[in-house]
Homo-oligomer: A and B are copies of this chain.
Amino acid sequence: MSRLYQHGTLAMLMGKQMQGTITVAELRQQGDTGIGTLDGLDGEVIILAGEVYQAQSDGQVNHITDPDTLLPFASVHFDAPTQKLPFSSVTFSNLSAQLKTAQLQQVFAAIKFHGDFSHMHVRIAPKQVPPYPSLLSVAENQPEFEAENISGTVVGYFAPQIFNGPTAAGWHVHFLSDDRQFAGHILDFSAEQVTGDLQIFDEFVQHLPIDNPDFRQMTLDFDGLIAGIEASEGGRK
């Protein structure tokens, strides 16, 4: 049994619910590896070997050590790869094609690459304050950063098409450099030779903040929801 745990949904962020509803301590009980964002959509979180890092929108990377730090959305798992695969000339665009034999389409999976990346292009969500806007309007105005020849780790998830809404269908991956100076939500990357750790889950656990009245009273614009998630979280298929 291998489990991906997700707190909150992307639909919630689209529904302007960006208040933190789970603590770092609670999240760490569900996994040692993952991605997310902090209270108010404050940056891009990456969790590696149990350590939590935040890329904030000025490009600075913070090591989050306060266990009471709140997150509105995060996905975590316990790192235990089922396959280690060598990749050559891998980019975000060709990642699915390179993994075709792994038959990921209908399952949840984690990918973790560590190595040297010839190019890394990320964006970082800027912190919002109440009353929160929609995720889509935040996504339209986010700082982007690029780096060349950088060593680090890519971590994130593949989700099946039918879970677009709760999460982003396709790939949703974050990056953290080995020197902990560069991080963010990946828009594009390329690497000549890296090893990819693949982990396929048989359980997807969706945890919801049922005690939060704002969440319970949320209304969603379903017509714009899927297009909004694709535009803002940008899952590569």
C-alpha gap A216/B99 in the complex (Å):
13
CA distance A216 to B106 in the complex (A): 6
Tell me whether A203 and B205 are in contact in the complex, defined as CB-CB below 8 angstroms, given that A106-B218, A161-B222 are known contacts.
Answer: yes
One complex includes copies of this chain to the number of 2
Known contacts A215-B106, A218-B106: does B200 contact A203 (CB below 8 Å)? no
Q: Given B9, B107, B209, B220, which contacts A216 in the complex, CB threshold below 8 Å?
A: B107
A102 CB to closest chain B CB (Å) equals 9
Tally chain A residues at the interface, Cβ within 8 Å.
32
A11 interfacial by beta-carbon distance below 8 Å: yes
Contact B210 A107 (CB under 8 A): yes
Q: How far is the CA of A161 from the CA of B217 in the complex (A)?
A: 14
Chain B residues in 8 Å Cβ range of A222: 161
Interface 1/0 per residue, A162-194 and B, CB below 8 Å: 110110000000000000000000000000000
Residues on B with beta carbons closer than 8 Å to the beta carbon of A105:
216, 218-219
- Looking across the interface, which residue of chain B has its beta carbon closest to that of A4? B206
Determine whether A24 belongs to the interface, using a CB cutoff of 8 Å to chain B. no
The 8 closest A-B pairs by CB, nearest first: A162-B165, A103-B216, A204-B206, A11-B162, A202-B210, A205-B205, A203-B207, A107-B210
Q: Interface residues, chain A, CB within 8 Å of chain B?
A: 9, 11-12, 103, 105-108, 161-163, 165-166, 200-210, 215-220, 222, 225
